[in-house]
Chain A
């Protein structure tokens, strides 16, 4: 019998060993780390780098470090790592600066109150948003100011020169962030305006502040300003820095928001207008919610930069977190070879905590608001 089939196998295919496991660490290593010769070389180099870099860092931060309970003599030993005992001993200074020790409950109350008000504001499902917002944005600043500076209700007066540390860093960044949002949005809207005077003023303001480095603004506020004003008028140094930082941040924010406004199709404006909505209604109900959603990453980027920029106020003699760390590194009671480095590592860690939290929150917010524009 003949068939059309050209080839018929007449023997069995020889048995092959069972395929390697489709999972497991070996396979993972193969596919991820040693897939090609280039990958293998890079992997080896990477491991060598880690072996070279990690142990000294580990030794410095944990292995050879002196933990609370240790003394300055322990820190002075040759080869000692980070002197955490010193951070522990001066911790209050890093948080409160020169705030009188017996009055620490006041900044503490502000911290707790702030956290209690801001957390529900950040959690979308928490109730009473409107009251909460009024409390946080209007009542909280007033209470905090009187609580911190005192001079009323029998609280001893604490001048702003004595505020310091993390307290001041948070005050400057919170005030900067919160005040720059409305200012920045108004400036961005103004820049898009058809009214020539408003438009020119906004453009001039934005371009002026963006053209000057923050450090110059702070220097100007703290050195030149007092010389222009009649002797005796004394604007608080912290207030000067706050105003400088806020105006500076608002100019940048305005440009970010403008980016969002430009990303909106013209139809959105026209649709709003055709519904008979006024400019402000159109802007606040249709344009801004969409525009701002677009630029959340940019806005948060600005805020993180602002938070870190607050450390620049140290050059005008305000004791923010970084400056207290710097000042304490001249503390002779804890003088040791690693004193300054330990302080800076601590400051970096504190800054990292806040910046990382902000960036995570914004990422989460972005996902939450991501309605219909997913790419």
Chain B
């Protein structure tokens, strides 16, 4: 008997890690059962294929029973085989014919609603914590033969399953190689979170994240289509996207779903937000204590008036208010519901108002602090959000010593540092990358 050659039938999928093949032996002949474990339901396969196989004596009998099954389709076109497989059909290669039987897995793990990267009108569900479900989601959204899934385990103790998903025809193989090397070198004992893995495969003391951690399947699929690699860790509802550039962290999925007239200004808003959240406190210190000459006379007089009650130098009030804001943000994460965070933010502002009447901070500082806090949350990706929260402190220190010159120096160094970063060999910050416009 001739050996069954899987690669000849399903060229692209043969290397896939979740592909299962079984040989069903009859006396002289054999049938080949092929399915994707991530897409198919084991009990359905058992009841529709394995059970008839065990009960039947001859191949013809088995064939007859199969034909009676619901979801049976006879395959004429070889080209469709892989598509069927990806859609969750089990393929049976019989000596005389090929058939497909629908054994699609009912989505077992209900994915959760997106909460961290919520968008208004667009896909509402995030990944789930189960790795198979997540791959199922990706395969449904990206039904191509070229999609490769490779499994491995990370963590010498935890042995957490990890899936590397990429589009074989588009992926940059240098990046893939670099990524695999990094993954081999991970020697943590317990790996439990995507952020942790992200940190382990990039440089630990990088100020900025060089890989996106996202909970959105649509973002992952979009990046797959651009030739990026997705890492899915079992036990977290987040995917890691590598390589990522700076601009990715400030892009929301909304940008693709709406008319450019709305989305472009919103994008601009996000960049302005990023600028404000990093440099506004520093600019406040610089202008109030070193360079009040850039204000108009009226604003300068008002500022001097509102600061008149404050006994300490300007950077005390800045640090005081920033501490308050950071503490509130941190506290609101511990609160169960997000509505709670709103309450604390508002409460914080009232507290700030009280601090102003008590003469601890000036009224302009209250505005500055709330602007910093609000614009911080304009940034869609949480890791970038955290990184920018940190950067404002060195800027404030520079502003204390050098005023506006210091702020600009800090921003310059920050820009040079950011461009010096590489995400898996790709430049992290570079203008005019010339990305494909097709996804728009």
Question: Do they bind each other?
Answer: no
Where the two chains meet, the residues of A that have a C-beta atom closer than 8 Å to any C-beta of B are: none
Residue ranges of B at the interface with A (Cβ–Cβ < 8 Å): none
